[in-house]
Amino acid sequence: MKRLLLVVLLIAAFQVSAQQSDRVVRASAFILEDEQGEKRAVLRLATKHTPELVLYDENGNSRISFLMIADETWLKLEDGKGKRSITLSAGRHETALQIFDEKDKVRADIGVGENNWPMLRLFDGNGKVRLVLIVGDEGPGLVLTDENGKLKFFSTP
């Protein structure tokens, strides 16, 4: 009799659990913690209209962030020290991949602009554009500048 009662209780508990699994959970933020209670992921609204998902490593450093700002979507990959390494953005007017150095300065970006022309830009350690390669409807173009931004070479089809 005790076994039958236990089976009935288990079935009833399973049915209640199954019914509750269809329910919607609403919150302003979700924090996922590991077995030690350390934060490993956060899903929240960074601002009123900006959803953000951040994943953390075992040391508590953010490593991956995904967010949507107005008409753009961003994916940010960080090193273990909280510095950006790579940013990927996709928006209505431009799609781009940016690569950062250890000083958090952009050193290279590649993208496609509003005119659908692909472009590669390389930056020096001070963040100044030193090389631009673009392919337009007429063909490729190349721009080289010195450390002061002075034009050194310019070529278009």
Q: How confident is the model at residue 15, as a pLDDT?
A: 55
The answer to whether the pTM exceeds 0.75 is no
Query: Is 1 part of a structural domain of the chain?
Result: no
Structure tokens at 150: 């002075």
Average pLDDT by stretches of 10, the chain with 157 residues: 44 53 78 91 86 91 90 89 87 90 92 90 93 92 92 84
What is the rounded (10 degree) CA torsion for 72, 98, 64, 75?
A: 20
Q: Does residue 120 share a domain with residue 157?
A: yes
Q: How confident is the model at residue 92, as a pLDDT?
A: 83
Per the structure, how many domains does the chain have?
A: 2
Of 66, 92, 118, which residue sits at a domain end?
92
Range of the domain at 46: 26-92
Q: How confident is the model at residue 70, as a pLDDT?
A: 82
Of 92, 124, 147, which residue sits at a domain end?
92
Dihedral sign, Cα of residue 8, residue 9, residue 15, residue 19:
positive
Instruction: Check which CATH number belongs to the domain holding 147 and give it.
Output: 3.90.930.1
Q: How confident is the model at residue 90, as a pLDDT?
A: 92
Q: Does residue 120 share a domain with residue 78?
A: no
Q: Does residue 156 share a domain with residue 102?
A: yes
Of 51, 77, 92, which residue sits at a domain end?
92
